[in-house]
Amino acid sequence: MNATIKRIAINVGFGYSPGLNTVISGAVLAANELGWEVVGIRDGFEGLLFRDRYPDRGLVLLTPELVETLDPSSNILGTAVRNDPFHVRIINAESLVEEVDRSDHLLKTLQAEGIDAVISVVGTQGLSILYKLHRKGLNTICIPRSVENDIATTALSFGFNSTLSFVTELLDRAKQAAQSARQVGVVEVLGEHSGWLALQAGIAVCADAVLIPEIPYDLQKVATKLQDKFRTGRSHGLVIVAEGALSVDKEAVVASANPLKASLSPLATDYQGSHVIQRSGHAAQTVALQLQRLINQETYPLVLGDWVKGGAPTAVDRQLGLSYGAGAVRALHAGQTGVMVNFQPPNLSFVPLMEAINKIRIVPADSEFVQIARSLGICLGG
């Protein structure tokens, strides 16, 4: 396939993370070296699905000169709220709302534009949609993006390191606030299915406890750990809780959980049950309230929500973004398609999309990070 490539496209799936422009730059610079032209599709696939909405017909020419001027923390292409060409919501001629399959239309448009392949920067859902498009004939390379680092097969998803750094900085501040107020701060961080962000940030700030989805928590253990510290004269505490963390107490789980996302959640254990996010802040509120009943100290919940995904990328993510972008071009040049770029330090490789979907990268019980946390005296609640 590589001998025939002249023009490729790049787009960004639903959601955002720091430094998306670095991925775009990496792809543009690498493609330029091969003499390929790169265009960006605006707002996921919407630029090509609703071309009339865009003055530039939904495609923007990406040149090395242009990418030199891009702010690394931004995303020149934008994203879509929905990014599924198989279920595109439209208003038909009779003013009725309906969802239609526009995947054929999308593939024809790409062909008409002379686009030989598409590089997509996507999260877990985007991988499945791109896999579906690949099965219909789209040449595609996916780049994993997840601030929770929960995409399987790759060791490090793009965006995670920047978010980790920012969360760590905020936790430092939360710790100082807790110290000053002589209270126990319970801080909720992103992590519906996996606790990498909570665990690694918790280690970085030497939190008193870290509660993650992979290890059901017993708050009595957390309370005991805090009480031990209070007896030595400490008057504050810091507990990090991932939003998908759950209690070992089944009744508490049922009482607190909302069935809303149960069947959506790959880790759900029943339709009413665990690993279900009630709402942003629910995990922190639940833990803060229950913990306060168990210890002789005030607690307060704090929520670091989606906004930690914004901001400037770290050096690691800038380097990773450029590498992923260039790696995707390398994959196309090597004749690959229907694969995800996979980073297993120090190597970049490519895995078929089928191997990347339907899996979650969770924190194993014997993970080195779990061992480190325990060694540092951080209570994991279980």
Partner 1 sequence: MTNSSTNQTGLVLNIQHFCTHDGPGIRTTVFLKGCSLRCKWCSNPESIHPKPELAYNISKCIGKKQCGLCLKPPCSEGAFYVLEGEDDRIRINWDLASDCGQDCVDLCPTGALYLFGQAMTVEQVLDEVEQDSSFYRESGGGMTLSGGECQLQPDFSAALLQEAHQRGFNTAIETAFNVPWSHVEKVLPHVDVVLHDHKLTDPERHKKWCGVDNRQILANMKRAYETFPDKTFIARTPLIPGVNDDEDHIRSVLAFIRPYHNVIDYELLPYHRFGESKYGFLGRVYELKDFTSPLPESVQRLRSIIDEAFGRSSPLEQTHELKP
Closest approach of partner 1 to the CB of residue 147, in Å: 18
88 membership: H or E segment, kind and range? strand 88-91
Q: How crowded is residue 170: how many other Cβ atoms within 10 Å of its Cβ?
A: 18
Q: Which is nearer to partner 1, 136 or 173 (CB)?
A: 136
User: Are residues 25 and 67 in contact, defined by beta-carbon separation less than 8 angstroms?
Assistant: yes
Q: Which is nearer to partner 1, 67 or 245 (CB)?
A: 245
Contact residues for 333 (Cβ-Cβ < 8 A; gap 6+): 2, 5, 34
Q: Which is nearer to partner 1, 98 or 298 (CB)?
A: 98
* Residue tagged 């969802």 (tokens): 99
Encoding tokens for residue 73? 């923390």
Closest approach of partner 1 to the CB of residue 125, in Å: 6
CA 292, CA 44: separation in Å to the nearest integer? 45
8 membership: H or E segment, kind and range? strand 7-12
Q: Which is nearer to partner 1, 38 or 212 (CB)?
A: 212
Residue closest to 309 by CA, chosen among 108, 157, 163 = 163
CA 286, CA 256: separation in Å to the nearest integer? 8
In the three-class reduction of DSSP (H, G, I as helix; E, B as strand; rest coil), residue 89 is classed as strand
CA 127, CA 141: separation in Å to the nearest integer? 10
Q: Which is nearer to partner 1, 266 or 311 (CB)?
A: 266
Q: Give 313's DSSP letter.
A: P
Q: Which is nearer to partner 1, 305 or 377 (CB)?
A: 305
Closest approach of partner 1 to the CB of residue 128, in Å: 4
Q: Which is nearer to partner 1, 40 or 85 (CB)?
A: 85
Q: Which residues bind partner 1 (CB under 8 A)?
A: 84, 86-87, 89, 91, 94-99, 125, 128-129, 131-132, 258-264, 266-273, 276, 278-280, 354, 357-360
Helix 315-333 crosses helix 160-181 at what angle (to 10 degrees)?
160
Residue closest to 9 by CA, chosen among 104, 114, 101 = 114
